[in-house]
Amino acid sequence: MNHFARRTTAGGAAIFAATALLLAAGCGDDTNDNVDSAISSVITTLPGGAGSETTTEGGGAGSPTETTGMGEESGTATGTATTTAAAAGESTTMSTPNGDITVSGQVYEKYMAVGGESSPLGMPEEAQESGPEGGEYQDFEGGTIYWSPDTGPHIVWGEIREAWEENGGANGTLGYPTSDEKDIPGGKQSDFTGGTITWVDGETTVTPK
């Protein structure tokens, strides 16, 4: 607004000067060319004219003065803010039969990495809960994601999960999972800080370290 006021005042002064020239010159032919030249010079410095003041103040391409509203800089800032929010807010709230449930943090990252609700885990069943030694876990329709600072996030499900929970889960001697369930000859295996659990030919075997 200050730029506009200064430029309008300057334009008014310039028009006044041109008018004075006209009055002083009268209507003689000898002076018309000089007066026309003076008026043309004044007009080119008015807002919207062709003068350098209009170019620097008028918000041309790349002008930092005029990109504070809906211009390019404003758009860039909005995009950055959106990206930062998405990166910092690594969570999702999902509507389930048990109400709205939020999945967040390392559990969320693991959940999304395996396909989210489209994966065999399905929808969350309850809110995220704290585990031993600063860990966290969350139950889903098809299994549980467990995370601890030392082991990272891993999925436990199926017969291996049942055997693990029967042995105390993360609070038992087996501790937190250190791998997802993986294929072995004849079945599956999950590794834990305190041992392994295998499921081969329909039989589950717990092997402590």
Q: Which of 9-13, 51-55, 56-60, 80-84 has the lowest mean pLDDT?
A: 80-84
Distance CA 42, CA 120 (A): 76
3-state secondary structure of 27: coil
Q: Which residues contact 60 (CB under 8 A, 6 or more apart)?
A: 66
Per-residue pLDDT averaged across 127-154, rounded? 96
Q: Quick check: 136 pLDDT over 70?
A: yes
Distance CA 143, CA 148 (A): 17
Distance CA 102, CA 108 (A): 9
- Tell me which DSSP letter residue 132 carries: G
Per-residue pLDDT averaged across 63-75, rounded? 32
- Is the model's pTM score more than 0.75? no
What does the block give as tokens for 4?
A: 């506009």
pLDDT at position 33: 52
Q: Quick check: 2 pLDDT over 50?
A: no
Q: Where are the domains of the chain?
A: 2-59+67-85, 100-208
